[in-house]
Chains A and B, each alone.
Chain A
């Protein structure tokens, strides 16, 4: 099982600010996924990255995959209260191995 470290553990920002969360592993990811989980719900897939150096954008969210495929970041521009949630990264080898997540709170 691949061990994933996420940082920071908690992040609280004001609406309109930018934020970045990180996901790191000591071993190479075959593919990496980012999820958002809201209270009382299951995780929802945001993006899958496969190729080293890959950058994907989803509206105000930008996902980067490290060249060596051992790290990834999620950047949110102009955060909104609706972005509040638990952000999880996971490696996908048919079963998912998740990091502990970053809890993001965006204050109005």
Chain B
């Protein structure tokens, strides 16, 4: 079946612009995660949803980052007033339940110029 999809795959933004990154999880998966992966590093946790509830947003680096999953399926990660340090790959993962295997999407590579 279809895996996790993310769009766009690549995004170039000028410093100060707002961006929105989309994640389509595997159908029926309850849990959804966002991670940020800087060049040469492992992914770092940003936020976690269980259905539509955002249960953990402890990894969001600043109040410029906002995530939502209003109907418990598709999720959007929004970054306001982008800065150069926001340049990274943003990965989305979904899981059938809490603590189970996470299935990752291909990521969105964000470059802020």
A and B: bona fide binding partners: yes
Whether B43 contacts A45 by the Cβ 8 Å rule is no
**Which of B42, B44, B104 has the most A CB atoms < 10 Å from its CB?**
B42
The residue from A41, A88, A95 contacting B45, defined by CB atoms under 8 A apart: A95
Q: Helix, strand, loop or mixed for chain A's interface?
A: strand
The residue from A40, A90, A96, A101 contacting B41, defined by CB atoms under 8 A apart: A101
Q: How far is the CA of A42 from the CA of B41 in the complex (A)?
A: 13
Whether B41 contacts A44 by the Cβ 8 Å rule is no
**B101, CB-defined interface residue at 8 Å:** yes
Q: Quick one: given A42-B91, A43-B43, A88-B42, are A96 and B106 in contact (CB under 8 Å)?
A: no
Residue of B nearest to A9 (CB): B40
Within 8 A of B (CB), among A37-73: 40-45, 48
The total number of A-B Cβ pairs within 8 Å is: 51
Q: How far is the CA of A88 from the CA of B48 in the complex (A)?
A: 20
Residue of A nearest to B45 (CB): A95
Whether A96 contacts B40 by the Cβ 8 Å rule is no
Residue of A nearest to B56 (CB): A95
Q: How far is the CA of A1 from the CA of B33 in the complex (A)?
A: 16
Residue of A nearest to B40 (CB): A100
Name B's A-contacting residues (CB within 8 A): 4, 31, 33, 35, 40-45, 48, 56, 59, 91, 93, 98-99, 101-102, 104-107
